[in-house]
Structure 1
Amino acid sequence: MTVNRMFDECLYFNTAALARTLEREWAKAFKPFGLTPSQAFMLRAVVERPGQLQGTLADALAISRPTATRTLDGLARLGFVERWSTERDGREAAIHPTDSAHAIMDRIGAASSQITRRMKRKLGNARFDDTVSSVRHIRTTLE
């Protein structure tokens, strides 16, 4: 049995390999903006819901708070987000997009749409949609 065949039925191996493939594709799409895929998706979430708390943002993106902090640090260094202290607790930060973030959102959305269309062409719309739905269901069930 070859190594590839050994892992044909392994959920971990196949989803991890898929994640690496997707990471490379999305990295190419967001490279012109100087963003990693994680930063681009987080920025989209911040622009969609300005003022959300950092912890709420981490939960919405299904990432740890330290990961959210590092990603936000990068976005802040790039001038795309600002952290504002909240009135409730000075340690808590509300995340707001800057004008620079708003200025690139249409182009980020277009890059996302382009890569999604390309994947749907390769996989077919039904398989693409079913895969996203299945992976989301598995993720939420196992959490």
Structure 2
Amino acid sequence: MADEMKECDCKLDGCLFFSTAKLARVFGKIADDAFSKTGLSPSHALLLYLVNQEGGIPQKEIGELLHLMPSTITRFVEKLEQKKLVRKRNQGKNVYLCTTEKGLSMQDEIIKAWNNLNKKYKNILTEAETLQYILLSNKLLSEIENQED
């Protein structure tokens, strides 16, 4: 047992979990700052953006696109409904999220916030490095999700 403990040299900077979590916290702060002018969190703004893009979209599809649990999407939708930024339409067992005039009026502001967010880190990595990072992240996510099934 002691030998096993020695093999695990817990260096935080060399740990994928720690590095990813740290980066997520930093990106989260940058995103919060970028979207603060919209009055919405980045996740709420991105949900609204997707609804506005489609005009109407199944709530389940939003959850899949944003990689969020149904209960989280339900809470986000309730908040956006309270602000009259989206409305729900039931069609059989499916719930569709639809745009509202007020929600559509925020689209330019959301896009501006998105662009401001991208400017914060655009010049740190090259385009090729950014693409490679995204490809590696997606590969890792996909493989981990397949292991869970």
TM over 0.5: yes
Question: How much identity, in percent, do the aligned residues show?
Answer: 25
Where does 1:1-143 land on structure 2 (aligned, <5 Å)? 6-86=11-91, 88-89=92-93, 92-143=94-145
CA contact (8 A) 1:46 1:52 kept: yes
Q: Which runs of 4+ in 1 moved over 3 A?
A: none
Aligned-CA RMSD value: 1.6
Higher-Rg member (1/2): 2
Unpaired runs of at least 5, structure 2: 1-9
**What is the identity, as a one-letter code, of the residue corresponding to 1:95?**
L
CA distance in 2, matches of 1:137, 1:102: 34
Shift of 1:9: 2.1
CA contact (8 A) 1:46 1:95 kept: yes
Aligned residue pair count: 136
CA contact (8 A) 1:82 1:95 kept: yes
Unpaired runs of at least 5, structure 1: none
Shift of 1:16: 1.0
- Superimposed CA distance per residue, residues 96-130 of structure 1 (whole angstroms, 9 cap, x where no aligned partner): 11111211111211221122123111233332232
TM-score normalised by length of structure 1: 0.86
CA distance in 2, matches of 1:118, 1:124: 13
